[in-house]
Amino acid sequence: MASAHIEMDVQHQEDSADGRRSDHPPLVKYYRASEPLPGIKPVLHNFLKKGPASCAAVLASSGILSVGIGVVFAASFDMQFFLLTLFRVPIVTGILFIFTGILTNVLYCHPELLNTCFFANIGCLIVSAVGVILLSIDLAKHKSNEIQYKMEFMVLCVTLMDMIIAAVLIFLIQREKQNQKH
């Protein structure tokens, strides 16, 4: 039979209303542990302590912004004039950002999706890098002060920010995967 040695504090029930003890032995004794035992750490505890949910929320919300700007570009400007609209860069990257952000937030409930989240972030990083290259070529080709170019520069900044966030998430997930192996 298993046993454990845990110190217990004894608390006596007070007999009188003013809080003084009487000379009679207590009728009821309460026992409580003097120090709590450490609980079992949940899966991905160290990873989730680092706050990937905030990165995922920024990733998903900027994905919504990218999709919105992509729809505005597709509806407002000539299709062949910009590489941004020709290849649907903000729409594709935005949908991928939203999917990856939601998937990263789901890790709290379903830690078995860690590998899927890892590969989704890698895919997000690759597609974003291609998008940044296309946007840079587009901006270098047309040097104007019109609103389209300002919006295209904003899409480039959002895409670069999402690339940085995806890289941070990849780094954190990779570190967690290495810790799980040991």
Alpha-carbon span 43 to 177, nearest angstrom: 11
**Annotated domain spans of the chain:** 45-181
Type of residue at 75: A
Alpha-carbon span 102 to 119, nearest angstrom: 14
Instruction: Report the mean per-residue pLDDT for the chain.
Output: 78
Please tell me which residue, 149 or 103, carries the higher pLDDT value.
103
- pTM of the predicted model, to two decimals? 0.70
**Over residues 66-71, mean pLDDT:** 87
**Over residues 96-101, mean pLDDT:** 93
108-159 tens-digit pLDDT? 888 888 899 999 999 999 999 998 998 888 888 776 667 778 888 888 898 8
